[in-house]
Structure 1
Amino acid sequence: MDPWAAGDKLKFETAAITHPGNVRPVNEDSIFTDGERGIWLVADGMGGHRDGNLASAMIAETARGLGKGTSLMELTEAFRRGIGAVNAELLSRSNGNADRIVGSTVAALLIHKANYCCLWAGDSRCYLVRDASIEQLSHDHTEVQELVDRGVISKAEAASWPRRNVITRAVGAIDDFQLEHASGVVRSGDCFVLCSDGLTGHVNDEEILARSSRLSANRASHELLELALARGGKDNISVVVVNVVAKGATTVVMR
């Protein structure tokens, strides 16, 4: 029986790390974790736009300002409203000028009691590691992913596609904005991994699985970061690892 089957509170071992990488002078990623309220996220300011770090920081602050929530639905809807307000504020700042757009991707994990909801926009990802296998809960909002979905190119071709980083949905980029979501039931031993594309641009799913399934959250996050840096670290890199554990709860945040 799971340790919380009788109503006990979920416990988490969390580690979060963000790094500018080897090339970019500014880290436009933001991370936020709060195991007590069941909120974790990674936001990646849109590269090439002014103040992408501001956009991602606004998303993190939205998570910080959320209440605890009496249900997963309440927490999810509060998060959606908050991100909608950030989207409206960023659009207002750009004043309809495409050259002034400031935006950010987001991948968020919300957990209440024994249920989770992953919400996202863009190509920051949320993974679930369970029973020695890995599942990408999120689905990239990118031009190259749309081509794969339509069968125009294969997954193998997508890895070297010249426009593979073109985002089709991001906070602050479009008026008709919606977060996509996936939900399910949390099990003892589950591991969730949130990351920006600075990680997945260098590290594949099997490598994420190998580390997150056998290491502590802290060690897994560091090894994943070190691997991405060793392979070039061309973008900002952020990783959040959330282990669902039977007892005790720790959070390690490295910036």
Structure 2
Amino acid sequence: MSNPKFRFETGAVTHDGCVRDHNEDRYLCAPQLGIWLVADGMGGHFGGDVAAQTIVDRVETVHRSSSAPDLRARFLDRVARANADIRTLSARNGDATIGATLAALLIHEANFSCSWCGDSRVYLLRDGALTQVSRDHTEAQELLDSGTITAEQAENWPRKNVITRAVGVYEEAEIDHVTGTLRDRDTFLLCSDGLTGHLQDDDILSMMRGKPSQAACEALLAETLARGASDNVTAVIVRCALKTVVSSDEIAGYTEEDRIP
């Protein structure tokens, strides 16, 4: 029986944007671990960039996992440690509000998990259709979900950027997840709200379709900058290509490095 494995073509960009004087976004691309993430720091010069980097540094220590549940458990453990580290930093700065939103993709063999906290997003491009996998943890989204406001009102909500979750802000980080099975040519986009604040889903789809991962990231960044980029902008794109191993010798000799294109 054939044993499906995947190769990953990854692209990534990050930029200060046109208004901010420094970049509080951070990202991680670690196909050897099966982890990609974007963290968007909040806290300005008090340490938003440190909060985002803390998440990256902690998650980098996951090491190799034995299964999809094991990978997710290790990931959540590192996020919990980052949450504690950030809260310690906040306490040292007079309990200043310091934290970071998070969007992550975890892959083990043919299983994927999308995890998020805040308004950084995860999208999936599959069979030509773009779907937002994550659901924003924002005041506007909560009001929309409760039926208090309409979709049009949510789009123009005066407190549209008020988030309700972030790593480091509360005693425990509350992370949402969606899991699934990979298909050949699935393409994921992880991004900070600095990108989605200027680009609609149709814009994103048109710039992702038919381009290599890095070229698509650069196209998304260029268009966001052209539209004013009022915040830091970060995008990570992961394109998954099926590799079928058919012989027992190949299966025995398969290593994690084979996952990297």
TM-score norm. by structure 1 comes to 0.91
Pair 1:198 & 2:194 matched: yes
Q: Please give the alpha-carbon distance, in whole angstroms, between the structure 1 residues aligned to 2:180 and 2:4.
A: 19
Deviation, structure 1 residue 47: 5.0
Answer with 1 or 2: which has the greater Rg.
Answer: 2
User: Residues 5-154 of structure 1 correspond to what in structure 2 (within 5 A)?
Assistant: 6-48=2-44, 50-95=46-91, 99-154=95-150
Q: Please give the alpha-carbon distance, in whole angstroms, between the structure 1 residues aligned to 2:174 and 2:94.
A: 19
The range that moved more, 184-193 or 153-162, is 153-162
1:194-242 deviation line (CA, Å, top 9, x unaligned): 0000000000111111222221111110110011111110000000000
Secondary structure in 2 matching 1:9 = strand
Structure 1 residues 64 and 176, CA gap change in structure 2 (3 angstroms): closer
Q: Please give the alpha-carbon distance, in whole angstroms, between the structure 1 residues aligned to 2:94 and 2:115.
A: 26
Secondary structure in 2 matching 1:95 = helix
What is the alpha-carbon root mean square deviation over aligned residues? 1.8
Match of 2:255 in 1: none
Secondary structure in 1 matching 2:149 = coil
The range that moved more, 209-218 or 192-201, is 209-218
Aligned match of 1:171 in 157, 167, 178? 167
Q: Please give the alpha-carbon distance, in whole angstroms, between the structure 2 residues aligned to 1:181 and 1:96.
A: 31
Pair 1:184 & 2:180 matched: yes
Q: Give the 4+ runs in structure 1 shifted more than 2 A.
A: 92-99, 246-251
The range that moved more, 78-87 or 173-182, is 173-182
Deviation, structure 1 residue 9: 2.7
In the alignment, residue 205 of structure 1 is paired with which amino acid?
D
The range that moved more, 91-100 or 233-242, is 91-100
Q: Please give the alpha-carbon distance, in whole angstroms, between the structure 2 residues aligned to 1:79 and 1:94.
A: 23
Alignment check: 8 A CA contact 1:49 1:101 kept: no
Q: Please give the alpha-carbon distance, in whole angstroms, between the structure 1 residues aligned to 2:143 and 2:94.
A: 24
Match of 1:222 in 2: 218
1:42-90 deviation line (CA, Å, top 9, x unaligned): 0000154611000000111122111110111101111101111111122
Q: What residue ranges of structure 2 are gaps of 5+ in the alignment?
A: 244-257
Q: What residue ranges of structure 1 are gaps of 5+ in the alignment?
A: none
In the alignment, residue 160 of structure 2 is paired with which amino acid?
R
Q: How many residues align?
A: 247
1:167-203 deviation line (CA, Å, top 9, x unaligned): 1000010113221110100000110000000000000
